[in-house]
Amino acid sequence: MDTLLAPLEFAFFQKGLLVATLSGALLGLIGVYIVLRGMSYIGHGLSHSIFGGFAVAQLFAAQFYVLGAGLWGIASALAITVVVKKSRVGADAAIGVITIASFALGVALFAKFGSSGPSFDNALFGSILGISTVQIVGLVAVSLLTGAFIFLKYRALLFSTFDPEVAAVSGVRVTRIEAALMIVLSLAILATLTVIGVTLVAAMLVIPAVIARMLTDSFGRMLALSTAVGAACGLVGMYLSYYAGVPSGTMIVLVGAAVFVAVLAFTGGRGLRRSAGLDAHSEDLLAEPAAR
Amino acid sequence: MTGTGVGPELVRLDGVSARYDQHVVLSDVSFHVHEDQFTGIVGPSGAGKTTLLRLLLDTMRPVAGTVWRQPGVRMSYVPQLETVNWNFPVTVMECVLMPRTRGRRLPWASRGEKAEVHAVLERLGIGGLAGRHIRQLSGGQQQRMFLARALLRQPQLLLMDEPTSGVDVSTRHDVLHLLADLHEEGVAIVLTTHDLNGMAAHLPHLVCVNGRIVADGAPADVITPAVLERTFGARMEVLEHLGMRVVVDESPASMLTRGQA
């Protein structure tokens, strides 16, 4: 019991635990849509892109670096969507070019000018130190926004994720829903970046959702399970990070990976079959439909 | 069963052309869909059958020509089974309810909605499967599930892409009877098919497509060797059986004979 209670004496750990648990839940919730839409690579790319925006923004106005990074991330997300829809460039190539170039710019700016916010290592791998009240408020606000968006648009989101063309015929404004999802994803990545880290956010978007898929065939239950698994990984990972003295993001992801292995062993072939081809028609979601 | 369409128009394409990138798929197509229409669009792969459906549905914009739709027209679309991700985590109930995106804001289904889904599943002969995952259905059951989803919108016009592709003979018969019943109830139907004998020959009205409209009319007028060769680019023989047209590939023997001549 002491092991669990002792770190809670420190205010920084209380904040870290809250942020890690909420971050895990948020990424687990939104990760269901990202995985089922075959957008895992976008999650990976966006987090790297936001790192570039973060470095650029703090050059001009250190106090607004979060806002700058957020706008940069949203702009990158929309740029990827436009490039893929309007050109022959595939989604993976567009993400590779736009987001990794942005990341490289961020690394160059960090090397040249340093940082007035989080350190380079902390930005990459996450840290529980120095979490401000503003960041906590931001994360809570983004979590509430994401929860409200998913609750109120549950049916339209489900339909457009499963079958965008039929959803459009049935009156769902698919383009608008997809753009809104990209914006919410950018905000979620931005809000969780501090604790999870740029390079590890994508893993927490994917791991809880895949674990949940291995455990259920129902979409509603998958959303609930993925959120719970994400939160549990954040909570346990944060404690392990404290005792092991390693960056929080790495431990949270390692806990997720361990749960994945355990669930895989438990569900065996059934779980693998469920999670196979989750994003089977992801190409159709971003590209123009093929001529038939 | 009428099908050529003489009632009020639901959708009208006039001189429409469509392309993907620089590849023109359809050119100068005029096609009118009336309230009492039951039409099969036939043609080879890549002929533009699905594109024609997309133009009717407004999921694709033409590069030339005009499209008119009756204001407020209710259309439902049943996609090809092959294009669906059957591993997606949804039950039959969740899938059939998908079009209900307006009105009720809550994620879960109301008691009334559940009763409605059960009723339409029952009507289509798959009552009792509402709780199953979509992968656990047979090809025929999957087709019926999508039909149930389409019917939940109470459409005036039902568009189906290859509804009998990948289903067995018995299911094909069931689907045909079901569509005939729906048509009798006043639902206009346009479907694509490359199954000339199993599907097209049984429909009241056919449109042959191969980049443009090659022919248009009743099966007796359209299923002829000359029209089929212009549509499919292959020679076929047409036989008559119990008043129905039956298409057979030109026999290998006659091909060999022609080759030797």
Weakest-pLDDT range from A25-29, B59-63, B73-77, B216-220: B216-220
What does the pLDDT look like over A135-173, one tens digit per residue? Answer: 889 899 999 999 999 999 999 999 999 999 899 888 889
Instruction: Return d(Cα A133, Cα B117) in angstroms, integer.
Output: 48
Q: Does B232 touch chain A (CB under 8 A)?
A: no
Express as a percent the part of chain A with pLDDT over 90: 30
pLDDT for B74 beyond 80: yes
What does the pLDDT look like over B98-113, one tens digit per residue? Answer: 988 877 678 888 898 9
Min Cα distance A222 → chain B (Å) is 8
Contacts of B27 in chain A (CB under 8 A): none
Residue-level pLDDT at A279:
56
- Tell which wins on pLDDT, A205 or B257: A205
Instruction: Assign A65 a pLDDT band (cuts: 50, 70, 90).
Output: low
pLDDT for A262 beyond 60: yes
Residue appearing with tokens 């549509």: B231
Instruction: Return d(Cα B58, Cα B61) in angstroms, integer.
Output: 7
Give whole-number Cα distances, A173 to A160, A170, A283, B4, B95, in Å: 9, 9, 19, 33, 18
pLDDT for A105 beyond 60: yes
Chain A, chain B: beta-carbon pairs less than 8 Å apart: 111
Q: CB A288 to CB B20 under 8 A? A: yes
| Closest residue in B to A173 (Cα–Cα) | B101
pLDDT for A82 beyond 80: no
- The domains of chain A, with CATH numbers, are 2-278 (1.10.3470.10)
Domain extents in chain B = 1-74+155-218, 86-152
Weakest-pLDDT range from A110-119, B104-113, B210-219: A110-119
Instruction: Return d(Cα A276, Cα B135) in angstroms, integer.
Output: 12
Contact criterion met (CB below 8 Å) for B13 and B55: yes
For residue A65, what are its two tokens?
């670096």
Tell me which range, A201-205, A208-212, A217-221, A285-289, is most confidently predicted by mean pLDDT: A208-212
Residue-level pLDDT at A277:
59
Min Cα distance B87 → chain A (Å) is 6
Q: Does B226 touch chain A (CB under 8 A)?
A: no
What does the pLDDT look like over B22-60, one tens digit per residue? Answer: 888 999 999 999 998 999 999 988 889 999 999 999 888
Strands (E), chain B: 9-20, 23-34, 38-42, 64-69, 75-78, 157-161, 188-193, 205-209, 213-217, 236-241, 244-249
Q: CB A276 to CB B45 under 8 A? A: no
Residue B130: HSE in the Cβ half-sphere, 13 Å Cα cutoff: 18
Mean pLDDT over residues A95-107, rounded?
A: 83
- Helix residue spans in B152-261 (DSSP H): 169-184, 219-222, 225-232, 252-260
Instruction: Return d(Cα A227, Cα A147) in angstroms, integer.
Output: 11
What does the pLDDT look like over B113-169, one tens digit per residue? Answer: 999 999 999 988 898 899 999 999 988 889 899 999 999 989 999 999 988 877 788
Tell me if residue B162 falls in helix, strand or coil.
Answer: coil
Express as a percent the part of chain B with pLDDT over 90: 43
Give whole-number Cα distances, B15 to A68, A237, B143, B187, in Å: 49, 63, 33, 26
Contact criterion met (CB below 8 Å) for A264 and A212: no
Instruction: Return d(Cα A231, Cα A224) in angstroms, integer.
Output: 11
Backbone angles phi, psi at B182, to 5 degrees: -60, -40
Instruction: Assign A284 a pLDDT band (cuts: 50, 70, 90).
Output: very low
The architecture of the domain spanning B1-74+155-218 is 3-Layer(aba) Sandwich (3.40)
Instruction: Return d(Cα A54, Cα A60) in angstroms, integer.
Output: 10
Contacts of A227 in chain B (CB under 8 A): none
What's the full length of chain A, in residues? Answer: 292
Tell me if residue A15 falls in helix, strand or coil.
Answer: helix
pLDDT for A291 beyond 60: no
Residue-level pLDDT at B256:
57
Residue-level pLDDT at A288:
39
Residue-level pLDDT at A178:
87
Residue-level pLDDT at B155:
93
Q: Which of A155, A279, A288 is nearest residue B98 as measured by Cβ atoms? A: A155
